Amino acid sequence: MLQRLLSNDLPRSRILAVLLVALLLALAFAPFIFPGVKALSVAAKVLVFIVLVASFDLLLGYTGIVSFAHTMFFGIGAYGIAISATRLGPGWGAVLAGLAAALALSLVLSLVIGLFSLRVRAIFFAMITLAVASAFQSLASQLYDFTGGEDGLTFRLPQVISPGFEWRDTPFLGVSLDGRLLCYYLVFVAALVLLLALLRIVNSPFGRVLQAIRENEFRAEAIGYRVVVYRTASSILSALFATLAGALLAIWLRYNGPDTSLSFEIMVDVLLIVVIGGMGTIYGAAIGAALFLVAQSYLQDLLKLAGQAVSALPWLAALLSPDRWLLWLGVLFVLSVYFFPSGIVGRLRSGAPQGKKSKVPT
């Protein structure tokens, strides 16, 4: 049953299996294990980024396509929910309408970008996607009446997933049973389903063809596969999953703006997470997103504690200043790349016995 649920893509490493189970349990019981608003927000962001990074890895790791427009689709999903909820009101109908409109727009844009750009060389495609993403971010910032401009949009959602809604007066294990808890588990279940769907896609015959194209697109073309069609389909699927991730972010935050979902910094974070976790591994998206976002959220606190512990050494305390957290985050990234050149998942799987290689379907 578990093997079928994971689409026959087992961890193939005891350490990796333990890490994945620990991560799943930590996210499933995060409201009860890690009390506090910040911890729950970090857990929800990890869930969103797992889907976002895994959808990007479908492009980069499995198909070999470098795209900088991924955050554009992420932003489309978030803006779809925000605009719909702002104009139609806090109802499930507004949420579904916004999600449907966002998915339709992402489908059209990814199809157009794919058909017109995937025929060119990789570097030119990357530059085209970067230009499109930059133009879309600028457009979102300028259309104040529609998107809220730089201020963004704050909106309301159905009361049952709003923080003010309490469906039980008595706390359970010290946790208030309110709408925020229900919203978290909505994000958790949706992220888990989307991740399992991506696992199914990359382990299907379609996914095998994508990997064949990544390894040698000329050979894949020679044996009868239409490379442009498969790469365009991969681009569309990746965009749709990124749109769904953006919608989850908007539902959790009940706010969206250009810096929240369209910033190029998000694209950089996604690239870093893919490298840390391991390209071409959906599990790498989960491990990488958890490690990166936890480090990003709590590194300043750890540096503050470390600085206080070595206060007797002024030079060391200055080096461990919380203001230098980006420096230490960069150091951690460099070390992770040095010791895990194929990513954490790739390194853990490298010593495991390999089965028979999968053949490209005919």
Query: Is 286 a domain residue?
Result: yes
Q: Which helix (H) or strand (E) holds 76?
A: helix 70-88
- Can you give the pLDDT at residue 215? 85
DSSP 153: E
Let me know if residue 331 belongs to a domain: yes
User: Is residue 356 situated within a structural domain?
Assistant: no
pLDDT score, position 119: 64
The pLDDT assigned to 356 comes to: 44
Q: Is residue 165 part of a domain?
A: yes
Name the nearest CA neighbour of 250 among 26, 76, 21.
76
CA pair distance 28, 200, nearest whole angstrom: 22
- The verdict on residue 359 lying in a domain is no
According to the model, what pLDDT value does residue 238 have? 94
Number of domains in the chain: 1
Residue 293: domain span: 2-350
pLDDT given at position 358: 45
Residues with Cβ within 8 Å of 317's Cβ and at least 6 positions away in sequence, in order, are 307, 308, 310, 311
Q: Is 88 contained in some domain? A: yes
**What is the predicted pLDDT for the residue at 280?**
87
pLDDT value for 362 = 45
355 lies in some domain: no
Six-digit token pair at 192? 């888990």
Residues of the chain with pLDDT under 50: 354-360, 362
Q: What is the CATH number of the domain that holds 238?
A: 1.10.3470
**Per-residue burial over 21-45, b = 16 or more CB atoms within 10 Å of its CB, e = otherwise:** eebeeebeebbeeeeeeebbebbbb
Instruction: Pull the structure tokens for residue 118.
Output: 């995937």
Is the Cα torsion angle 268, 191, 125, 110 positive or negative in sign?
A: negative
pLDDT of residue 122: 65
* Nearest-angstrom CA–CA distance, 346 and 343: 5
* Residue 234 domain flag: yes
